[in-house]
A = this chain, B = another copy of it.
Amino acid sequence: MATASNQCLDCSVRDTSLCGGADTDDLAALSAIGRRRTLGAGQVLTWAGDANLLCANVVAGILKVTAATANGREQIVGLLFAGDFVGQPFTDDSTVTVTALSESDLCIYPRERFERVLGKAPGLEHALLRWTMAALDNARERMLTLGQRGAQERIAGFLLDLVDRASPGGPSNVISIDVPISRGDMADFLGLTIETVSRQLTRLKGMGAVALPRGGRTILVQDRAILEALANLG
């Protein structure tokens, strides 16, 4: 067991992931059922509607959680970063599709064994509860955005979220963000079209709020105050 848990103790998301809520014994149990796997950009981890066979922790990379309508319109209902939990314990079928947006490393657990470990490790279950409640809170904020805010507010708010994720404490006024996702994914995340996202970004450029070097995925936030004024946050 000592060797098994050592690989967890070295893990880069040891403290930020669920495992932060696990004591040494719990970690050993988790470690015994987990295995590492790398997903290439675009690869799918789980499909909506398929049997729900696995849970995982994100060790590195970015993934999207998507739901789709019958006629093929897609909504990104969540983004996952290093330290986030993936999966739907206690349900038999997946309701969402999880896809890697960039090359990603995961620590994967067979779902039923993961549930059994949870049942014996209250600390872990507690950590998962807190994570799930935070995700719910996040989902509620996004419902507000999708239901009530205009395109400009959605974009500005999204950029502010990226800034805060990139530099949690940094009140620096000019910040370079490496936007982790394509325009298309931004659109699916915000409930807009690619064209509207593009237009709003050039509009922000015109206002001096951002700069868009080379038209790529790097965004330079030049005036946070403008974004905040436009975002209309609650």
Interface, chain A (partner B; CB < 8 A): 48, 65, 67-71, 73-75, 77-78, 88-91, 95-96, 119, 122, 125-126, 128-130, 132-133, 135-137, 139-144, 146-149, 153, 188, 190-191, 232-234
Residues A140 and B67 in contact in the complex (CB < 8 Å), given A122-B122, A129-B128, A148-B74: yes
Q: Which residues of B contact A148 (CB under 8 A)?
A: 69, 73-75, 191
Query: Would A133 and B95 count as touching, CB distance under 8 A?
Result: no
Copy count, this protein chain = 2
Provide the bound-state CA to CA distance between A25 and B77, in Å: 39
Could you say which of B139, B149, B191 contacts A136, with CB atoms under 8 Å apart?
Answer: B139
Q: Which residue of chain B lies nearest to A119 when distances are taken between CB atoms in the complex?
A: B126
Cross-chain pairs A/B with CB under 8 angstroms, 24 sampled: A48-B234, A67-B141, A69-B148, A69-B153, A69-B233, A88-B133, A88-B137, A91-B133, A91-B137, A95-B140, A96-B140, A119-B126, A125-B126, A129-B129, A129-B132, A132-B132, A132-B136, A135-B136, A136-B136, A136-B139, A143-B146, A146-B146, A146-B147, A147-B188
Pick the contact of A234: B69, B133, B146 (CB < 8 A).
B69
Please tell me if the beta carbons of B137 and A95 are within 8 angstroms of each other in the complex: yes
Q: How far is the CB of A223 from chain B (nearest CB, A)?
A: 19
What chain B residues lie within 8 Å of A90 (beta carbons)? 130, 133
Residues of B within 8 A of A48 (CB): 234
Known contacts A75-B144, A144-B75; is-contact A69 B149 (Cβ 8 Å): yes
Instruction: Name the B residues within 8 Å of A75 (CB-CB).
Output: 143-144, 147-148
Once the chains are docked, how many angstroms separate the CA of A182 from the CA of B73?
Answer: 30
Question: In the assembly, what is the distance between CA of A88 and CA of B232, in Å?
Answer: 24
Q: Give the complex CA separation of A80 and B197 in angstroms.
A: 35
Q: How far is the CB of A226 from chain B (nearest CB, A)?
A: 15
